[in-house]
Chain A
Amino acid sequence: MATVSIPTILRTHTGGEKAVEATGGTVGEVIEDLESRHSGLKNRLITDGALHRFVNIYVDDEDVRFAGGLDAPVKDTSTVTILPAVAGGMR
């Protein structure tokens, strides 16, 4: 089972848990598995089949945007970290 680190803003979906376990060979499968137990999480991460631009997901130390996106491989020993992007601008 991979360990998934959940950011503060999404902990309403995990009963306040900072980290939860999930199975899956890819980031997409891990998210599907999370959704089966923590309903509503998937919608906060994926829009139209792609990773939401406001969210960063890392497998171990690698941003999945540079590693295949939702197809990025996840191992049993992996830590998947979800972090909201910190960004903004004057417009």
Chain B
Amino acid sequence: MIRRDLVDEIVAHARRDHPDEACGVIAGPEGSDRPERFIPMLNAARSPTFYEFDSGDLLRLYRDMDARDEVPVVIYHSHTATEAYPSRTDISYASEPFAHYVLVSTRSQNDEASGPGDEAEFRSYRIVDGVVTEEQVEVVETYMFAHTGADDVPDNA
């Protein structure tokens, strides 16, 4: 589950950096599994086929999250010419077993028939020990009224 404004931020970042891959994190309170704080990162590789957080940026990011009792709930990056599915490289690097790995494809930007209003491919995965599991993305306006499971629904609702 992710707020619409955060989805929009990720897609806007991916489009802005196209044709290079864009990357970043949405941090959230430890144990909450709730993405809250949008942190776009520089792609130190500045490449259309590879992304990498700068090692100094990475250290500052984790120090900052630690100080706020946050974890990377979402780790996102874009693919600029292929579908929004983890590549072999993505899988070999993936090392946050509790993170949602979000992929956005900006390949339709190469296509003159598509306009800026077109829906971007936006997909989410768990990547644990090299195993990729796609998960459904539920976009909500706010987390305030959102249920985390059937148990939250009152019996007489």
Contact = CB atoms under 8 A, between A and B. Distances in A.
B80 A86 contact: no
Nearest to A66: B55
Contacts of B59: 56, 58, 61, 63, 81, 83
Contact of B89 (A7, A9, A91): A91
A58 B55 CA distance: 9
Contacts of A56: 55, 58-59
Interface in B89-106: 89-90, 92-98
Interface residues of B, number: 36
Contacts of B51: 87-89
Contacts of A84: 93, 95-96
Interface string A49-91: 0000010101001010100000000000000010111111111
Contact of B49 (A7, A8, A83, A91): A91
Contact of A54 (B45, B47, B93, B97): B93
Given A86-B58, A88-B86, A9 B97 contact: yes
A59 B21 CA distance: 30
A54 B96 contact: no
A91 B88 contact: yes
Contact of B87 (A7, A9, A89): A89
B33 interface: no
Contacts of B41: 86
A90 B81 contact: yes
B93 A63 contact: no
A72 B49 CA distance: 32
B23 interface: yes
Contact of B77 (A7, A61, A88, A91): A88
A54 B58 CA distance: 13
Given A9-B97, A54-B92, A54-B93, A88 B58 contact: no
A88 B56 contact: no
A7 B98 CA distance: 12
Nearest to B105: A90
Contact of B23 (A7, A9, A86): A86
8 contacts: A56-B55, A86-B93, A88-B51, A89-B89, A90-B50, A90-B89, A91-B87, A91-B89
